[in-house]
Amino acid sequence: MIAAIALIAVACNKNQKAVKKLEGNWNATEFMVTDGEFTVDYLAFGFTIQMIFDGCKLKNDEVCNMTTTITFDGETETEASVYRVTNDGERLEQKENLTATSLETIDIVELTKTSLKLVLVEDETTTNITLEKQ
């Protein structure tokens, strides 16, 4: 029983540590989408992507807030959503709002104080996003 409680505490600590690192403004330095044999570099086409992660205490709040802003050809689209970190700090789960049932699962491949690499796999499409903290 004590070992199980200790294991849960360590996992929660890793998730909270990841939330602390995520907190702040991030700009994409790579945004590659591979569908089958074709790969598209969206940044090369003029897209800019900014993600803003709000910090929170996962122990007190089920999810934290985030905002994603994508700009292309003079048009800007901003989307507010909620996120949480799971799987010992290796998974980012995002959904539209607290009551949404659809959950997007994104792998955190690397997370440092200044660098974030995410991979999202949906069907046969893989999206790789690398961001730098501002």
Average pLDDT for the chain: 89
- CATH code: domain of residue 111: 2.40.128.20
φ and ψ at residue 69, rounded to 5 degrees: -120, 125
Whole-model pTM: value is 0.86
| Tokens linked to 9 | 């505490």
pLDDT value of residue 55: 83
pLDDT value of residue 59: 67
User: Which residues constitute the domain of residue 19?
Assistant: 2-133
For the segment 33-49, the average pLDDT, to the nearest whole number, is 96
The number of distinct structural domains making up the chain is 1
Rounded CA gap, 128 and 121, in Å?
A: 9
pLDDT digits (tens, 9 = 90+) for 68-126: 999 999 999 999 999 999 999 999 999 999 889 899 999 999 999 999 999 999 999 99
